Homo-oligomer: A and B are copies of this chain.
Amino acid sequence: MNKSIRAAIIGSTGYGGVELIRLLLRHPHVEITSVISSSTAGAPISEGFPHLHTIIRDKLDPVDVQLIRSKADVVFTATPHGVSAEIAPQLLDAGLKVIDLSGDFRLRSREAYKEWYKREAAEQAYLDQAVYGLAEIYGDRVNENVSFISNPGCYPTATLLGLIPAVKSGWIDLKSIIVDAKSGVSGAGRGLSLGSHYSEVNENFKAYKVNKHQHIPEIEQALSDEAGTPVVTTFTTHLVPMTRGIMCTSYATLTDSKTEEDFIEYYEQFYEGRPFVRIRPKGTWPATKEVWGSNYCDIGFAVDQRTNRVTIISVIDNVVKGAAGQAVQNLNLMMGWDEGLGLDFTPVYP
């Protein structure tokens, strides 16, 4: 159980991939044996990421299933949507364990995928095999028999950890949920676009994909599962002039007379024993920097008697808990290890 495993990372030159490297380098039971990139195979990874100079001297491997099979036990696919749908099945067929960080295996409905992602969904058999790895909620489904994890999206992670206990409590009107979400720019990845161009983003705050973000069906799928009835939400995404961090400010109408203390107590019980969710004391709300560089999801509450609504504020580091960190957490669960192994990063402040 404590033996080392060998990990390969496909998409090592994206932000999710390079963060997996940072995290796995500190993992006591994992050895990174292959860093893989389709676009720059053959070059040392430190050429494109000089912060890894002297830390990783490896050259990037090409995407070659047999080569991966020979070098690794588990593969993280930090690949763009569409690419994972192709490569993950091949890796699984080759007998590898796979943790996919893309959106390709998160939606059970192939129709929903096609509608929101504007492309064909992955094959049904593999969709059926994938376990949705929202660790604090579905962690009990992940064990040594599971070979394939679909790692949740960044917005869904922050939204769902903030909302699922409320949804299950019965204290909120399920038809009233509105999520106002804000993300740092790293969520858009390393691919070039005017929307991530420094001079366009700096000293600017903007909304994008209003009501159209592909994370909406992922959120609604989980909320509906937990509620036992279809839930739709109004979900707005905004871009914040910062690199890392997501805040979801969620609103719902109370069905019952509940206080902030009630919510805090309920959430603390709900997340008891889960080290990465931290419930904030009454009257305080988490800021994104307070989880920066760490795997925490922090949650705070405000109840307004005037309007009979609860405001739930949840924050994560989108690159860690919203991607690479939760992927490592899922690896831990998959291997039967403590879920926090190698993830004891204190947030970097300031």
Footprint of B on A, CB under 8 Å? 15, 18, 21-22, 25-26, 49-55, 178, 180, 182, 184-186, 190, 192-194, 196-208, 210-211, 232-234, 236, 238, 240-245, 247, 249, 251, 275, 278, 280, 284-294, 298, 300, 302, 304, 306-307, 309, 311, 313, 315, 319, 344, 346-350
Q: Which are the 9 A-B pairs with shortest beta-carbon distances?
A: A206-B287, A204-B289, A180-B180, A199-B350, A51-B347, A51-B290, A192-B192, A210-B302, A185-B198
| 18 additional contacts (CB under 8 A) given A192-B197, A197-B198 | A50-B286, A50-B287, A51-B289, A51-B346, A53-B290, A54-B275, A184-B203, A185-B198, A198-B243, A202-B243, A203-B242, A207-B287, A210-B313, A211-B306, A232-B307, A240-B241, A243-B350, A293-B348
**Shortest distance in angstroms between A178's beta carbon and chain B's nearest beta carbon?**
5
Of all chain B residues, the one with the shortest Cβ separation from A211 is B304
Number of copies of this chain that the complex holds: 4
Neighbouring B residues of A203 by C-beta, 8 Å: 184, 202-203, 242-245, 289, 292
What is the chain B residue whose CB lies nearest that of A46? B281
Residue from the list B193, B286, B307 in contact with A234, Cβ < 8 A: B307
Task: Please give, as numbers and ranges, the residues of chain B lying within 8 Å of A22 by CB-CB distance.
Answer: 346-349
B49 close to A234 (CB less than 8 A): no
Closest chain B residue to A196 by CB distance? B198
| Minimum distance in angstroms from A273 CB to a CB of chain B | 12
- Of A15, A21, A278, A344, most buried by chain B (CB within 10 Å of CB) is A278
The residues of B that contact A208 with a CB separation of less than 8 Å are 285
Residues of B within 8 A of A247 (CB): 205-207, 238
Supposing A199-B15, A199-B243, A243-B350 touch, asked if A236 and B249 sit within 8 A by C-beta, the answer is: yes
Chain B residues with Cβ below 8 Å from A309 are 178, 234
- Chain B contacts of A206 at CB under 8 A? 247, 285-289
